[in-house]
């Protein structure tokens, strides 16, 4: 069974970004905003986009908190 068949149809934009895109949370948030501004998520549900941005911001906050502990 392929990976596509196992994934739910409405997978989260934020989870996809965190799993499939390389880079720090800050870089991923920056890329998300750039793609969104260019209309790359035109067909996506606005509520899903808001949730994705909130989650990415939370990851940025966690990443910054962990950087201070090193």
State the pLDDT at residue 30: 94
- pLDDT given at position 26: 93
Residues belonging to the chain: 70
The number of beta carbons lying within 10 Å of the beta carbon of residue 10 is 8
Q: What stretches in the chain show pLDDT beneath 70?
A: 1-11, 68-70
Structure tokens at 27: 């870089």
Predicted pLDDT at 19:
86
Residue among 52, 2, 58 at smallest CA distance from 32 = 52
The pLDDT of residue 17 is 80
pLDDT value of residue 14: 75
According to the model, what pLDDT value does residue 7 have?
47
DSSP state of 10: T
Closest CA to 35 of 13, 51, 57: 13
């Amino acid at each position: 069974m392929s990976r596509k068949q196992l994934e739910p149809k409405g997978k989260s934009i934020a989870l996809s970004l965190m799993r499939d895109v390389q880079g720090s949370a800050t870089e991923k948030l920056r890329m998300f905003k750039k793609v969104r501004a260019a209309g790359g998520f035109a067909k996506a549900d606005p509520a899903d986009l808001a949730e994705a941005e909130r989650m990415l911001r939370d990851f940025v906050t966690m990443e910054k908190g962990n950087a201070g502990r090193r």
